[in-house]
Structure 1
Amino acid sequence: MASPHITLVVGGTSGIGLATARRLAAAGGTVHVASRDAAKVAALASSAPELVAHQLDGADGAAVAELAAALAPIDALVVTIASSAGMGLLAELDPASLRRGFDEKVIAMLTVLQASVPHLRPQGSITLVGAISAHAAMPGTAGIGAVNAAVESLVRPLAVELAPRRINAVSPGLVDTPWWSGMPDQARADYFASAAAKLPVRHVSSADEIAEAVALLATNTSMTGTIVPVDGGARLVQL
């Protein structure tokens, strides 16, 4: 796999974004990562010197446009912005939390796209990260599933609208990343063990397993309008 010459990963200082950035950097080319978390950006200088880190809020369209213009022309844009807002059973679902989930993930991704696409090569690629909650039938995920379904619904129309630029998405299942850091360590370990026993692949995914699929979509010049589930079979079973 050859890395694009210039890659921008928004949301790239931890989890799937960081794993993707490392993979693409290892294949060659220059990989820029952006995050609003100043501490994570600073930490990358020593932990991942192969990456170029920028402090950036994806919801700030002007700031995104300024960075994208400085890096242009960009060969590959990867957007891994995440949100945990919108979880909960229907009877307990907080509309404010659900709105926050849409703002933090869907609106932020749209903002990044609007600001970055003018600075993307005509043959460049865009890869988004949704989640399997958009497809699975897990109680308590209707809200966050709607958020991720909205992200993934961008892919097919934009594949036509932005052509010949390519746009795809990865739809991960359970992944051992900092997304779960709000859960106590033992509770998380117990949940992962229980889930792994039910998953057809019998393990919870690592960030690098998801990153492998993201990197494929970012670099394969015949893939567009595609949503790739990398979920260990989570959509097939009841967790």
Structure 2
Amino acid sequence: MKTEKTVYVLLGGTSGIGAALSQQLASENAVVHVASRKTGLDISDEQSVYHYFETIGAFDHLIVTAGSYAPAGKVVDVEVSQAKDAFDTKFWGAINAAKHGARYIKKGGSITLTSGMLSRKVVANTYVKTAINAAIEATTKVLAKELAPIRVNAVSPGLTKTEAYQGMSEDDRNAMYKRTQNSLPIGKVGEASDVAKAYRLLIENSYMTGAVIDVDGGALLG
């Protein structure tokens, strides 16, 4: 019987899906290290990430949920500098985390990254998110080979009720949720806790690596 507590490092775990996952993992009497911009860690800064893992030491599982924001708009309208900033956080931040976290991951450990349904669903005015998420999914499979026997997977969420949409008016937000609900085969918009369960599946199933799990209520079906 395993007596040691499982140690998780969760980057981006102070809000949204990350926070829901943190709560679920903590309920298992595990050790959960949570870091984000709110706690002072900028994952787009490689040196900061390097030093962060030095302070943590050995651990079992790395999960990266940081970087949900990306500018929306047509390619002719979005400032390239804003697109690069989004890439720096979500894509390069995930690379920084995998690169410097991998050396501390114990035998049997894993890395779980976060993409999003726009990697494979064509929606106008979302080229930045589409590009970032597609890059993460492709890179996940490469890392699964490079870092083996560490398992590397990704979760691809659809629209999820989180704080990411707090900047919208309540009416606009509710209208968006209603449109999405009506378009999904499952007939509901996901909660952060729904998506968090997919991370736990990838963490717990030792036969999964290089996988991308869609948790989108069927959004990719059409």
Range into which the TM-score falls when normalised by the shorter chain = over 0.9
Deviation at 1:94, TM superposition (A): 2.8
CA distance in 2: counterparts of 1:230 and 1:10, whole angstroms? 20
Q: Could you list the per-position Cα deviations for residues 199-222 of structure 1 after superposition, in whole angstroms to 9, with x for gaps in the alignment?
A: 111111100000000111112111
CA distance in 1: counterparts of 2:30 and 2:51, whole angstroms? 21
Distance 1:4 1:223, change over 3 A: farther
Work out the percentage of aligned pairs sharing the same amino acid. 35
Deviation at 1:60, TM superposition (A): 2.7
CA distance in 2: counterparts of 1:91 and 1:71, whole angstroms? 43
Matched, 1:34 2:35: yes
Match of 2:125 in 1: 140
Map 1:187-226 to 2 at 5 A. Answer: 187-226=172-211
Structure 1 residue aligned with 2:141, among 128, 149, 156? 156
Deviation at 1:9, TM superposition (A): 0.1
CA distance in 1: counterparts of 2:54 and 2:128, whole angstroms? 35
Match of 1:169 in 2: 154
Deviation at 1:59, TM superposition (A): 2.0
CA distance in 1: counterparts of 2:107 and 2:131, whole angstroms? 31
Match of 2:55 in 1: 70
CA distance in 1: counterparts of 2:33 and 2:95, whole angstroms? 19
RMSD: 1.8
* Amino acid paired to 2:6: H
Matched, 1:116 2:93: no
Deviation at 1:124, TM superposition (A): 1.0
CA distance in 2: counterparts of 1:83 and 1:26, whole angstroms? 25
Residue range with higher mean Cα deviation, 23-32 or 226-235: 23-32
Deviation at 1:24, TM superposition (A): 1.3
CA distance in 1: counterparts of 2:42 and 2:48, whole angstroms? 8
Q: Name the TM-score, length of structure 2 as normaliser.
A: 0.93
Deviation at 1:64, TM superposition (A): 2.3
Unaligned runs of 5+ in 1: 39-54
How many residues were matched structurally?
Answer: 220
CA distance in 1: counterparts of 2:28 and 2:18, whole angstroms? 16
Matched, 1:6 2:10: no
Deviation at 1:19, TM superposition (A): 0.8
Deviation at 1:4, TM superposition (A): 6.6
* Amino acid paired to 1:179: A
Q: Could you list the per-position Cα deviations for residues 31-55 of structure 1 after superposition, in whole angstroms to 9, with x for gaps in the alignment?
A: 11001114xxxxxxxxxxxxxxxx3
Deviation at 1:184, TM superposition (A): 1.4
